[in-house]
Amino acid sequence: MSIGAGAGALLVLPVLAIIGAGYLLPGLVLFAMSLGVVPSRPDFAVVTIEHYARLLGDIYYARILGYTLLLGLIVATLTAILAFPAGYYLARSEHRLTPAFAVLTFAPLAVGMNMLTLGWMIILGRNGLINATLSDLGIVSQPLDLLYGWTAVIVGMIHVTFTFMVLPIEAVVRQIDPSVEKAARILGASRLRVMLEIVLPLSLQGIAAGFLIVFLQVCGAFVLPLLLGGQSFTVVPVAIWEQMTVLSDRPFAAALSSCLILISVVVMVIQLRVSRDRALV
């Protein structure tokens, strides 16, 4: 039984309403604030781009933006390298321990970013698990500074985003016919060559999807960089929070937010376009 055009439009209306109220309207309000317009008393005569000029002209905020994008690239790349073997194992293995491995892989989704961040603070702290173990073994005499900085943030973000990289990789590997790998092995290809020349190229669509998800998550992360990075480590979400709460400069915070959203949209469009044009799978 077919659904008429009018009935189909009615079914789409709730989705359009959610998108409009949850994304488009807040985005327009945010953009208006970045131009100096007060949403409660809109006066478009006061529109200015000074906040964007400040953002692009101040080397401090340009550096913060660069650090944020670099962090996203580093975490997404390392996560892809670590997650590919896990995704392949989950897709191919029939071992009785595979379900337990799957539970461990998906556990970060159940725990949540806040709890994982607190856990890493306990592990990496000066009196944490690692320093206590090294001290008890006599390896170090003074606690190591592991908690604050790039290393702590990268390790924490990889842990948080690992599942989001494994899921698309596993889904794509499951679509690859195992007989293709068996045929290559019969013809004399080593396991490493099969993995690099057959499985990996056919899995690029899943890797690209996971890379995009992880990159966007890292660029928008706030709690983990704030707590694990320390005062000397600032990314765009932390800078937005500082402008909103400490400096009370909402228009500039809106400009930072709009810039981050724009970069995220551009990266997403480029990734989707490249994946579609190359037809990796």
Q: pTM for this one?
A: 0.82
Give the tokens for residue 213.
């998800």
DSSP letter assigned to residue 255: H
Computed from CA positions of residues 187, 189, 195, 197, in that sequence, does the dihedral angle turn out positive or negative?
A: negative
Give the tokens for residue 194.
């099969």
Cβ atoms 140, 134 nearer than 8 A: yes
pLDDT tens digits along 46-95: 677 888 888 888 888 888 888 899 999 999 999 999 999 988 888 888 77
What confidence score (pLDDT) does residue 281 get?
Answer: 43
Task: Report the alpha-carbon distance of residue 266 to residue 15 in Å, rounded.
Answer: 23
What confidence score (pLDDT) does residue 280 get?
Answer: 45
What confidence score (pLDDT) does residue 8 get?
Answer: 64
Count of alpha carbons within 13 angstroms of residue 106, beta-carbon side: 11
Locus of tokens 């000074």: 50
- Report the interhelical angle of 113-124 vs 98-111 (nearest 10°): 100
Phi, psi of 93 (to 5 degrees): -75, 140
Please name the residues in contact with 77: beta carbons below 8 A apart, sequence gap of 6 or more: 211
Residue 205: closest CA among 276, 117, 122, 129: 276
Among the residues of the chain, which ranges form H helices? 5-19, 25-34, 50-57, 59-92, 98-111, 113-124, 129-136, 150-175, 178-186, 191-194, 200-202, 204-219, 223-229, 236-241, 250-278
Give me the average pLDDT of each 10-residue run along the chain (281 residues): 60 80 79 76 71 84 89 94 90 81 80 82 84 83 82 90 90 87 85 85 88 90 86 85 86 88 85 65 43
Question: For the chain, what are the domain ranges?
Answer: 1-48, 52-278
**37 to 46, 60, 230, 258, 276: CA distances (angstroms):** 7, 25, 33, 14, 39
Spell out the CATH class of 52-278.
Answer: mainly alpha
